[in-house]
Each structure stands twice: as C-alpha cells, then as structure tokens.
Amino acid sequence: MNDRYSRQQLFEPIGEEGQRKLADQHVVIIGAGALGTGNAEILVRAGVGHVTIADRDYVEWSNLQRQQLFSEEDAKYRMPKAVAARERLELINSDVRIEGQVMDVGPEELRELTEFADLIIDATDNFDTRLIINDIAQQRGIPWIYGACVGSYGLSYVILPEETPCLSCLLEKVPMGGATCDTAGIIAPAVGMVVAHQTAEALKLLTGNKAALKRKLVSFDMWNNQYISMDVQKLKKADCPSCGEQPVYPYLQPDQQTKTAVLCGRNTVQIRPTLTEERNLEALSSALMKLDGKVEQNPYLLSYSKGEHRLVFFKDGRVLVHGTKDIAQAKNLYYSLIG
C-alpha cells in the first residue's frame, strides 16, 4: 500500500482500486480563485493523475484571506494565479501532472483544455463562462460540478450530460447582476463548504462511485444556519437548447458570446453582454455605494470610479471600462462588480 494515500485507501468505497482510477483521471478546473485553489489542493493531495487549472487573473492582497494556495510573495509580485497555484501544488504532490494555464477561457480555449478531460470543475466568477462550460460539457458528454459562493452563502450541483438538468435548464437567462465577493464580501468557511461538496462529488465520480452522488442542488447560508437540499430533476427540459433532444449549444456560437472591444483612440474597453436587458441602475448603485470608490449617476448611466479605473454602466447592459486597453483586465474589473 502506498503510504501517501493509505488513509484514503482504507476508506472502503475508494480502496486500492479507486486509488488506481484516480491516478488515471484528468480534471480541468476553470478558475484559480477561492474555489479553484481549494478544489485543486484536495484533488492533488488525493492523487488525481492530471489536474489542469486555467485562470486569467493574478494574485492580489485581498485574495489571501481565502485563496489557500497563495502567499504574500505571490501578491507582492502579482504572480498569475494559475502559475502560483501550479508551483505550490507541485511541492505538495510531485506524482501528479499539474498544468497552470494563464488564459481568458472562451469556447475555443475550453475545447482545447477539455479534449481529454474526465471532469470539469467550475470555480469561475461569472455565468458567461459557466454557460460555455455547460455547453462544452453537454457536447462532449463530460460531467461537471457547479459551485458558487458569496458572503456566507454557497451552493453546488453536479451536472451529468443526458441524465440531469443542465445549467441552461436551471436558468431562464444569464443574470445581469447580483452580489459578488467585491460587493458583498465573503467568509472563508463558505468557500470551504462549497469546496467540500464539490470535491466529495468529484471523488465519487472519479473512483466510479456514481451511485453515491447526491443528485440534488445544495444551498446553504453558514451565518444564518440554513441548509437546503433541493431535487431539481423535474426541471430538465426536452427542448433545452443545450441538453435537450435537439441541442444547438447556443453559448458556443459567436453571436452568443460577451462582446469586448478596445475603443479606437481611447484607453477604454467596451463590454457588451450576450443578452440585452435593462440594467437596474438603482440596485447597482446601492451595492457600489458600500465600496471605497466614487459613484455618480444620472437617468441614463451610472459611473463607478476607483483608482485609475472608471466603469460606466448603461441601462442596456453595456459597460465602458476606462483606464485600460487590456481586455482581460477589463473583464476582471467588470465581473468583480457584476458577477
């Protein structure tokens, strides 16, 4: 018995056979923030043979409170999260093949990342990327595990192609707003709880214990002592464009992607969400007023300024991110406020 995994192999549902299965698996983790680093560390320590982590961002001081693989040195030198995570994980388990991909994940990138994947874990901060993950997973028949947390609240759900409702079934549309860690804060125990649910389900799938899957959407609020386990199987739709009888995978189509463009002659990036919907500027203003930046509003738009950047939100969903020509940076700023 390999002593490294001896306690895990003593757990009867995994055993030596399950450990051998783990060593043959490839897990792709999209996002290297709080959920991504938590998932990655547990799966690498468990002996998953190949772990790929993709993220477009770099480490900041505000990450250290909950993103467990990073150090003060990483924040000081603004190390790309995927690189810092890979380097730390290689020190934890040298037997695991670990890839850290610094990239903004879209359909083409996700196709490449998941070509030989056995499982995708969602550790993102926005529904645009989640819906791309959902369509790729449905198209390729790859299970994926949804996870999200903010404040003291979190949720998780395992999506199995052809068996369970997909994310498109559960969502009527891409949310245009909502609380984020930057606007509502977050406590580390909420992260840990979501990670525990995601990785427990991941280990069941990867070791062939599919019958043990929870198959319910888990939702909880750790501060208010609430825990809900919801059966959502009836929400599976035969006419769903992503997982129905005649799928078209809409979020892999070019016209369904969030549009970004650097404005000519200006240090500005425009972000245009996939769906045009009237944004509630009053609700957004209330959320942003709690932050350090400056909020200004007129009947047509809302402006939020902090440091060298200013984001201007229009009612139709468009956002101008002033102070940068870097699309990845503009997206980070946008999703940190909008989610």
Could you state, in order of their start, the residue ranges of all structural domains in the chain?
3-252, 258-338
A 10 A CB-CB count for 226 gives 11
Best CA proximity match to 257, nearest among 170, 132, 130:
132
For the chain, give the mean pLDDT.
91
Q: Do 3-252 and 258-338 fold alike per CATH? A: no
Question: Residue 174: what pLDDT?
Answer: 46
Mean pLDDT for the stretch of residues 131-149:
96
Q: Model confidence over 258-284: pLDDT tens digits?
A: 777 777 667 888 888 766 567 888 888
Based on DSSP, count helices (H) and strands (E) in the chain, helices before strands. 12, 14
pLDDT band at 1 (very low <50, low <70, confident <90, very high): very low
Q: What is the side-by-side order of every strand in the sheet holding 301-306?
A: 259-262, 268-272, 319-322, 309-314, 301-306, 294-297
The reported pLDDT for the residue numbered 273 is 77
CA–CA separation, 107 vs 251, rounded Å? 8
Main-chain phi, psi angles of 295, to 5 degrees:
-110, 130
Q: How far is CA 268 from CA 88, 201, 311, in A?
A: 35, 42, 9
Nearest-5° angle of CA 278, CA 281, CA 282?
Answer: 130
To the nearest 10 degrees (0 to 180), the angle between helices 188-206 and 34-46 is: 40
The pLDDT, as a whole number, for residue 9 is: 96
Q: And the tokens for 331?
A: 């997206």
Confidence of residue 178 (pLDDT cuts 50, 70, 90): low
Whether the per-residue pLDDT at 253 is higher than 90: the answer is: no
pLDDT tens digit sequence for 217-251: 999 999 999 999 999 999 999 999 999 999 999 99
pTM of the predicted model as reported, rounded to 2 decimal places: 0.83
Q: What's the CA dihedral at 35, 123, 149, 296 to 10 degrees? A: 120
Report H helices in 93-141. 107-113, 127-140
The lowest-confidence range among 17-26, 97-106, 252-261, 276-285 is: 252-261
CA distance 15 to 8: 7
252: which 2 tokens? 């892999």
pLDDT tens per residue, range 277-300: 678 888 889 889 888 899 998 887
- Check pLDDT > 60 for residue 119: yes
Instruction: State which fold the 258-338 domain adopts.
Output: TATA-Binding Protein (3.30.310)
Within 8 A by CB and 6+ apart from 104, the residues are: 56, 327, 328, 331
For the structural domain made of 3-252, what CATH number should be given?
3.40.50.720
Backbone φ and ψ for 81, nearest 5 degrees, come out as: -60, -40
What is the predicted pLDDT for the residue at 176? 44
What pLDDT is recorded for position 230? 94
pLDDT given at position 193: 97
